[in-house]
A and B are shown apart, each in its own frame.
Chain A
Amino acid sequence: MTAADPDLELAERVRAGERAAFDVLVRRHQKGMWRLIRRYVKSDADAADITQLAFVRAFRGLTGFRGTATVRSWLYRIAINCALSWLRDHRREQPAEIAEEALVDDNPAPAALAAGDDRARLRKAIAQLPPKQKLVLELRVFDDLSFREVAELADCSENTAKVNFHYAVKRLRDILGGEHAL
């Protein structure tokens, strides 16, 4: 519920002219926004730049915030838009996706190798999900958003978000089960 949004009061204070309230919002959400953006751009430095840009846009646009969504989902929407815009502008500069296997240490212990292998397969499976299911799954699992916030960001109803989430996990199980079978 918007009434229970813990960031709403901060947003109101910023709108009333209290600059320091925005610093609190930044401290509260910069990690989440950076992680969200990092999943899009594959570069730590680029993710940091885009996070900064997203906060600047949020600060300038806060006067137009209507409170229909939570402040967090509103910030995350800006972050996603900034990331997508950045991707459009830097499409040619993006390196081909590095194979997950290449990210594993050169001489890992057998247990670490197995764990790394599982993680790699899981990430690969997530990458194979349809865009909407992938978005819903990541927002829910990695960003810890409520289904309402997920629905706001995925432009769908809360029930649709729940169903998409179900089919995303089901598909992951199918992908991982198929790979195990191989």
Chain B
Amino acid sequence: MPDVVISAATQVLAHVPSLARHGSKPRRELAKNEEQAEKFAAALRSYDDAAAYPPHQAWIGNIHPRDLPARPWSANAGEPQRSGRFGEVMPEAEFLGLLAAVDDFELFALSPEAARTAAEALAAHPLAKAFDLDRIERSVGDIDKVAGEPNALRLTDGAAMRCAQVDDESLSAHVLVDNLAAKATATLALLHLLDRSGIDPTSVEYVIGCGEEAIGDRYQRGGGNLAKAVAESAGLTEASGADVKNFCAAFVPALVTASALVGAGVFKRVAIISGGSLAKLGMKFQGHLAKGLPIMEDVLGGTATLVEADDGTSPKVRLDVVGRHRVSAGGSAAEVMKALAVEPLTRNGVAMTDIDDFATELHNPEITEPQGSGNVPERNYRTIAALAAAKGDIERSDIASFVTERGMPGYAPTQGHLASALCYTPHALDRLTSGDARKVMMLAKGSLFLGRMCQLSDGMSVLLERNAEEVK
């Protein structure tokens, strides 16, 4: 089987402070308490603050997460930079236009002013030719009137979402705007990938989605296939697609699947996409307000990755070094990490110290700590390091340096799949080509028990390797 590589990866953010109150937690809590709703509104960030925020600069590729400044990051932010090597931070006014541009059913409405502002800005966007700007005009409506329709949702003063079917929960305005936001962010990331890689869009034969949205109706609630919807929006006329569902862990099985398809000769080029989770906006707002912090969960992420046959330079996906968390493995965090970080390497004679970067759950600790959820990446890295010490690959006294050198601070929005190794992909490509890394291990984990079908977690891992590396 020929070698398979990741040849391109992009990721974007859409800054959407006005939509933050529609996240699941704020929408439930703010209705109970008007004072809190006012505090919430007052704590929203400006575009400049969000764009300058160092974790967001790490997201779009202007810095490596290990080069993040000292915390608190907002105190050490540089200039707001909209663009980075991996993508952009799109302002809200434009993103509202993008929502309209990818809305095939005209359920999303913009006021005339919002539509005009969005259309003008998007017409000046470097990727303008790829956006369906006509749709923005067709989305214009009287927002008060639209918001007054049965079960419609007023999103902002200038935007509203209709439901598609009044008595179908799966087609409610909230679900639809959640899904549309995922479609829009994923499409934007994919358009950036096409633009930056310069590939012929018709050369992509398949797209795999790895997000956590649920697209469907009352009879098929999670039918899915955001992938094909995004393929269409991005102009991939020769592609079909399907989604891989695995809670937060989905990127790695999506990557392994995409790579296996290419390696087996089924398809020549496969893209992997994911969009942001509107439901998770403002999720930890209570901790942020309590500590006098801004509402930091005000951005939606989107990603796109391209997999193809070995091109001689791009990092290889080592399909022989894949870790999986078996049903029988047991639920402890240590067992999950053993399955992902230890077993596949040991099986292939690779020492844990041969791995230059471990990419695991990279949630931004500035978001999680104020709400009492701790520093997730640090905990993950300490577990990996402890396992390395237990195995004898390092001394116990080296645990701290293992964490610093092979781990990294978290910088991802708290949007599940985005944080779970996926957001390191473009950095991994850099590190494994122009940087000095030889091996990067991608580890993704998911909380299956949230769906109440089993008490299990899942995880999967895969090794990425510098091209022309000696295969051990």
Q: Do A and B come from one complex?
A: no
